[in-house]
Chains A and B, each alone.
Chain A
Amino acid sequence: KAGVTQTPRYLIKTRGQQVTLSCSPISGHRSVSWYQQTPGQGLQFLFEYFSETQRNKGNFPGRFSGRQFSNSRSEMNVSTLELGDSALYLCASSLTGSKLSGNTIYFGEGSWLTVV
């Protein structure tokens, strides 16, 4: 079955702009989470959505937001982009997310965002 699909794979934005990234989870998965990966900070948890509701949120400013649709597809948005937002943004899906012990989380290939 198809894996986690993220679009776009690569994009370049200018400081002050906003960006929307999209994620389609594995069919049947209801949990979608987002992570930011940078060389300096490594992998950091952004937020998790389950059944269209944000269930968990990491320590990021309010410029970072997300949503989940009824078909479990998710989008994340970053407003007023800063140079430091340049990163690989990874989406992950699982059946029930963090609520179930040992639940397997599958990652997409990520969206590479460069802010100039």
Chain B
Amino acid sequence: GDSVTQMEGPVTLSEEAFLTINCTYTATGYPSLFWYVQYPGEGLQLLLKATKADDKGSNKGFEATYRKETTSFHLEKGSVQVSDSAVYFCALMYSGGGADGLTFGKGTHLIIQP
């Protein structure tokens, strides 16, 4: 079946460092791809999304590009802040009939130190 793989961490970086969180997926079709963020004690917030190959999603300084050839959707940010500390989830979802909701990766725990 379909699956999403991402590093689980924790990933620890210093403030203002460059961030990359890798995400690869296995899918039989052409899903939409998402990054969600979960702050301690809270639900999930949509960070960004891309619906087709070569689309770039971006929000709050974060970016990710839908790469069909490498089945990847890596999350990047040029300069992280302490407030970016959270758990980040990569996910995919199909549209149309037979869809079964979002398929999530295990989540990557990001810790930013001042």
Contact = CB atoms under 8 A, between A and B. Distances in A.
A56 B96 CA distance: 11
Contacts of B89: 43
B102 interface: yes
A25 to B, nearest CB: 13
B44 A99 contact: no
Contacts of B102: 33, 35, 43, 45, 92, 105
Contacts of A103: 95
* Interface of B, helix, strand, loop or mixed by DSSP: loop
A106 interface: yes
A42 interface: yes
B69 interface: no
A105 to B, nearest CB: 7
Given A90-B43, A102-B95, A107-B43, A42 B103 contact: no
Kindly name the residue among B34, B43, B44, B51 whose own CB sees the greatest number of chain A CB atoms within 10 A: B43
Given A102-B32, A107-B44, A109-B43, A58 B95 contact: no
Contacts of A77: none
A100 B46 contact: no
Interface in B6-42: 32, 34, 36, 41-42
Given A58-B101, A98-B99, A101-B32, A107 B45 contact: yes
Given A6-B43, A106-B46, 11 more contacts: A33-B102, A44-B104, A45-B102, A56-B100, A98-B100, A99-B95, A102-B49, A104-B49, A105-B102, A109-B41, A109-B43
20 contacts: A42-B106, A42-B107, A45-B102, A56-B100, A58-B101, A92-B102, A98-B94, A98-B100, A99-B95, A99-B97, A99-B99, A100-B95, A101-B51, A101-B96, A102-B95, A105-B46, A106-B46, A107-B45, A107-B46, A108-B43
Interface of B: 32, 34, 36, 41-46, 49, 51, 89, 91, 93-97, 99-107
